[in-house]
Amino acid sequence: MSQFGPEYVRAIAPYQAGKPISEVAREFGLDEANIVKLASNENPFGVPESSKQAMAAAAAELGRYPDANGFELKAALSKRYDVPADWITLGNGSNDILEIAAHAFVQKGEAVVYSQYSFAVYALATQGVGGRAIVVPAREFGHDLDAMAAAIDGDTRLVYIANPNNPTGTFIAASHIEAFLTKVPSNVVVVLDEAYNEYLAPEHQFESAQWVRKYPNLVVSRTFSKAYGLAGLRVGFAIAQPIVTDLMNRIRQPFNVNSLAQAAAIAALNDKAFLEQGAKNNAEGYLQLTAAFDELGLEYVPSYGNFVLVKVGNDDGAGARVNLALLQQGVIVRPVGAYGLPQWLRISIGLPGENATFIAALKKALG
Ligand SMILES: *Cc1c(COP(=O)(O)O)cnc(C)c1O
């Protein structure tokens, strides 16, 4: 144990990211071109063409600092979500937003409420500020909002909710979230993390961005990493009332979203066709994967995101064992033992051919 830093920093278990393709190629002696990565909920179509063009144009100005205030991107978001530009905080990915919220609203010893099996970064952000985590047991792999409301104590300053949730894919209807918001004390900030919102079917979509008008303690968090295909660029944003936004901006690094990312995000935001293509592929891929799971008799959690959590065995070694057998065949998925789900794997939905490669490899892996 090092003698450096506070105890709460030394206690942090580092985030385990999906393995990069190059690493798997080296470790298993495989050709990168034959590797299928369905591990990090990335968009299988990659970067939109419109964003590539915008980045090429912006590249000429890379000698200068980015616009610290993200004027054009905020203007585009303001229009898209019908909120004033000064209600928007830009993030280096929405991960940055989640961290900024912890730094802005929680001091050492104060509490943060989040759900069991919710996104790993909530725990990291809480620990990073020396916060006390109140982890509320999940209900059917999703958030138990009644129990979360009841868990808020006098020291609680922040609540994280993922909708849809990662890694389980569960979804909470608008009416339930609003009922929860009415119960939360006004001095507790609620971060509603909607990283997969764009994948929701139209009947499940709701204008959460408009709720911030009604709830001064609500922060809606979104990202360009998933449906918009810009994970490598790191762009996310938050919508909240100006008092909350102002505090988050004091914590934010001045140049946290780089110039290429700002340009690419504006283009992607206006690229309806790209989002539609992604949503269609996702819906079809979900059916492709779950049909295979049904055929194999594997339990899975119905998912509203671009991934599926599937149970690959009944012993606690199952996830790691099947994961290794998949890696040996050049298929990268996400083990979720660190989430307390050692019998499960999370599979990102890919292109039809990638899904088929995974299904064939899974059949072999299960013997
Ligand atoms: C992927 C993800 C994010 C963060 O993505 P960024 O790339 O940092 O924007 C946030 N929340 C959830 C639930 C996610 O799955």
Closest ligand 1 atom to residue 167 Cα is: 15
Closest ligand 1 atom to residue 165 Cα is: 13
Residues 161 and 68 in one domain: yes
Residue 304 belongs to a domain with what CATH number?
A: 3.90.1150.10
CB of 197 closer than 6 A to ligand 1?
Answer: no
Task: Note the pTM of the prediction, 2 decimals.
Answer: 0.96
Residue 1 belongs to some domain of the structure? no
CB of 233 closer than 6 A to ligand 1?
Answer: no
CB of 94 closer than 6 A to ligand 1?
Answer: yes
Residue 126 belongs to some domain of the structure? yes
CB of 329 closer than 6 A to ligand 1?
Answer: no
- What DSSP state is assigned to residue 154? T
Distance CA 302, CA 353 (A): 22
Residues 221 and 73 in one domain: yes
- Taking alpha carbons only, the member of 303, 289, 288, 357 closest to residue 326 is 357
Total number of domains constituting the chain: 2
Q: Ligand 1 pocket check: which of 41, 96, 121, 199 to mutate, most ligand atoms within 8 Å of Cβ?
A: 121
- Over residues 118-150, the pLDDT tens digits come to 999 999 999 999 999 999 999 999 999 999 999
Closest ligand 1 atom to residue 98 Cα is: 10
Residues 233 and 326 in one domain: no
Last residue of a domain, one of 269, 285, 316: 269
**Neighbour count for residue 146 (Cβ, 10 Å):** 14
**Neighbour count for residue 263 (Cβ, 10 Å):** 23
Residue 68 belongs to a domain with what CATH number?
A: 3.40.640.10
Residue 2 belongs to some domain of the structure? no
Give the start-end residues of each E strand in 38-172. 88-91, 111-115, 132-136, 156-162
Closest ligand 1 atom to residue 234 Cα is: 7
Residues 90 and 106 in one domain: yes
Residues 178 and 241 in one domain: yes
Distance CA 29, CA 31 (A): 7
Residues 111 and 28 in one domain: no
Distance 224 CA to ligand 1 centre (A): 9
Distance 1 CA to ligand 1 centre (A): 31
Residues 169 and 251 in one domain: yes
Last residue of a domain, one of 231, 253, 269: 269
Last residue of a domain, one of 269, 293, 318: 269
Distance CA 188, CA 209 (A): 18
pLDDT tens, per residue, the chain with 367 residues: 578 999 999 988 888 777 889 999 999 999 999 999 999 999 999 999 999 999 999 999 999 999 999 999 999 999 999 999 999 999 999 999 999 999 999 999 999 999 999 999 999 999 999 999 999 999 999 999 999 999 999 999 999 999 999 999 999 999 999 999 999 999 999 999 999 999 999 999 988 999 999 999 999 999 999 999 999 999 999 999 999 999 999 999 999 999 999 999 999 999 999 999 999 999 999 999 999 999 999 999 999 999 999 999 999 999 999 999 999 999 999 999 999 999 999 999 999 999 999 999 999 999 8
Residues 248 and 139 in one domain: yes
- Over residues 148-187, the pLDDT tens digits come to 999 999 999 999 999 999 999 999 999 999 999 999 999 9
Residues 123 and 241 in one domain: yes
Residues 302 and 261 in one domain: no
Residues 265 and 283 in one domain: no
The range of the structural domain enclosing residue 352 comes to 7-46+273-365
